[in-house]
């Protein structure tokens, strides 16, 4: 699901987190896609696949306009990284290894990604990579 992402500080766990704001209720198709993505991501628990830490929503159905998904904060993605610098062979091998691990896990759950691209490969400052949807 598409949405705006910002970083926030989780005072309970004392870590920075990403919060993705999704407005899925404008169209039935958006609702179905968002629900499917949330169901899939809630099942996934793997270090190379982005997961969902929490879901924030309005207290009542009548007030619900947006859904906020809390995820691990990843500082950049492969698309942005490739635009700014050339990767060493070691980085290429390490990223490819993590991509393949994530995809193996996703495929083992009988899920096909359907939108795999550099901007959906999230990377943090220690070069950990997570496949995002």
pLDDT at residue 45 in the model: 97
- In whole angstroms, what is the distance from residue 102 CA to residue 47 CA? 8
pLDDT at 62: 85
For 63-72, 92-101, 112-121, which range has the lowest pLDDT when averaged over its residues? 63-72
Looking at residue 1, its pLDDT comes to: 64
Is pLDDT above 80 for 122?
Answer: yes
Tell me the domains of the chain and their CATH numbers.
3-131 (3.30.200.20)
Burial (Cβ within 10 Å: 0-12, 13-18, ≥19) of residue 98: buried
> Which pLDDT belongs to residue 3?
84
Task: Name the β-bridge partners of 5.
Answer: 20
Phi and psi, residue 4, nearest 5° = -85, 140
Catalytic residue among 66, 72, 115, 128: 115
Which residues are within 8 A (CB) of 104 and not within 5 positions of it... i.e. 6 or more apart?
none
Spatial CA neighbour of 130 closest among 57, 84, 56, 71? 71
The total of other beta-carbon atoms located within 10 Å of residue 22's CB is 20
Q: 115 an active-site residue?
A: yes
Predicted pLDDT at 88: 98
């Amino acid at each position: 699901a598409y949405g705006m992402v910002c970083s926030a500080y989780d005072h309970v766990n004392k870590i920075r987190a990403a919060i993705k704001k999704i407005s899925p209720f404008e169209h039935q198709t958006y609702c179905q896609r968002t629900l499917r993505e949330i169901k899939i991501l809630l099942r996934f628990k793997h270090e190379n696949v982005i997961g969902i830490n929490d879901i924030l929503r309005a207290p009542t159905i009548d007030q619900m306009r947006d859904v906020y998904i809390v995820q691990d904060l990843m500082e950049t993605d492969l698309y942005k990284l490739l635009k700014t610098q050339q990767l060493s062979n070691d980085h290429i091998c390490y990223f490819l290894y993590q991509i393949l691990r994530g995809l193996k896990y996703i495929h083992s759950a009988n899920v096909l990604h359907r939108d795999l691209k550099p901007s959906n490969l999230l990377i943090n400052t220690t070069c950990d990579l997570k496949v995002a949807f």
